[in-house]
Every structure is written in structure tokens, then in C-alpha cells.
Amino acid sequence: MAFSPSALVVSFLLSASALTAASPWRSLWNGKDLSGWDTYLAIPHPSAQIPGLPKKPDGQYTEPLGLGRDPLKVFAVQNVDGRPAIRISGQVSGTLSTQEVLENYHLRVQFKWGEKRWPPQENYKRDSAVFFHGHDLGYAPTRAWPRCLEFQVTETDVGDVSTVTTKAMSRGRPQPNTPAIYDPKGEPILLLTRAPHKGANNHCTKSADHEKPHGEWNTLELFCVADEAVLVVNGGMVMRVQQIQRQKGDGWESLTKGFICLQSKNAEIYYRDVEVRAITRLPAEFDGK
């Protein structure tokens, strides 16, 4: 049976329209304020001046700022490079979290580093993260992080992954004294915090470095479907994790959803163009990678 050219055009347009309708991009941030997001801040460093927050005789603060309390404006909206961006000062450890729980999605966000760094880690690498599959906000020992997985946003380490009171499987090349390097043809790697070597057990290093020079905008992409996730930095796939799980009683259960968090840790950073779209499978381009 022959098809007329006009029928083929109509068929193509309908197919393209259906694809677009099935997966439109939508913003997770309105570009004006922090509506739809929650702030959670940990115990501040003694150098921070916060009236009314209890201190010990030695000057150490005794409690976290917690949910919705940000007197230092750690999280704010600013105009950067002619466009609105979320500015995270890094002065107090914490998170800016979506109130929406996300599942089966493709996240895209841009970041670039600022200049300010804070004690006691002012001489460390600039550090932040995009947490995903977040739940139990403020649970982790620092009283700043949720249970989640961590898309590392750390100078020279952008694209590493860590589990935060969760666990997952990856593949990689084990290293003698440092975390394994991601390699789809490598051996299975269980990512699970185990004392005393936390960093070597809950962390896998990216397969390649795609971070741009300081001061330039970087694009991060996160693909999550079921209990699997793929991490992409500036167009380069750098990590895949599978069998993502969270604790349930004395056992574990599949973890497929949660909120997104932008991390405040020790340095100034800017995020913009935070957007997401629904997906039903990981793109075929990642098969075997």
C-alpha cells in the first residue's frame, strides 16, 4: 500500500507532536524566589554571627538552624551574567530541596563557582552537590543532608557519586587507597557507607573529567528510571549506578524517587536553569556504557 507525501508529513508531525507532548521540559525553579523549595541548615561554624542560637561556653553552636531558618541568607536569588540564578553562599552546610518528589525523570541544571570560601574548609576544594532520591531531610549525621545519592559537584571531581545512608551498585576499576573509577566493563562495586573507610566504600569516581574552567557555566544532567541513574557532565556520560536502595527496618527496599537538593557546603556556587522532564527509559545512547 502506497502513502502519499502529505500522509507521510502528517504522520511525522503527529509522531513528533506526541513525543514532545510526552516529555516537555518544565522548570523546577521560577527564577524569582525560592517558592516550592525548602531550606535546611546544619549547626553553623562559631565564626557565624547568629543572634539567639544557643552556644556552649567554648563558642560552639549547640543546634542546627534546621528547616526554613536562614538568617544569613545562605540561599538567595541573584542576577548573574544577566540572568537570574540561585546563589548558595556555602557559609553554613545545608540543602535547598524541592518540595516535589520526583520519579522517572531527566534533570538538567547549570552551575558555576563563585569566589567566597568559608571556615573550617576554606582551604579545601570548592564543594557542593546535587542530591537526588532525597528523603528524611536532615537525617544524616551532619544534620544537614537527607538520605540520598550524591551527584558530586566538587572542583575536579564533578560527576563522582556517593551514597548517603543509601546503597547502590556500580562497576569500576578498584584502586589501592582511593575509591574505584567508574568503568562499565569493570567489576561490580557496592556503594555503601562502612566505617572506618567511608570515602572508599560509599563513593565511586567519575570515568572522565568534563568540568569547565573556574568561572564558566557547566551543565549537569541526571537520568533516573526505576532504581537506576546515569550522570552526565557537559555532555559526557561519567557514571551509572543501579539497584539503588534505602533502608527499611532491618532490611533494604528499592529506592526510585525522592526530592532534589542543591547542597551548601564550603564555598559560593550559583545554579540556574533547573528543569526536568518525564522519561520512561534511559536513552539508548547509554546502553553498554
Where exactly are the structural domains of the chain? 26-281
pLDDT digits (tens, 9 = 90+) for 17-33: 333 344 899 999 999 99
pLDDT average, residue stretch 211-239: 97
pLDDT digits (tens, 9 = 90+) for 78-126: 999 999 999 999 999 999 999 999 999 999 999 999 999 998 888 889 9
Integer Cα distance of 65 and 91 in angstroms: 12
Question: What is the pLDDT of the chain when averaged over all its residues?
Answer: 90
Q: Which of 166, 264, 272 is nearest to 219 (CA)?
A: 272
- 89 dihedral zone (left: phi>0; alpha: psi -120 to 50; beta): alpha
pLDDT average, residue stretch 277-282: 97
Residue 21 or 226, more confident? 226
- How sure is the predictor about 193, in pLDDT bands with cuts at 50, 70 and 90? confident
State pTM to two decimals: 0.89
Kindly report the CATH class assigned to 26-281: mainly beta
| Dihedral (Cα; 55, 61, 65, 69), 10-degree rounding | 60
Integer Cα distance of 41 and 63 in angstroms: 10
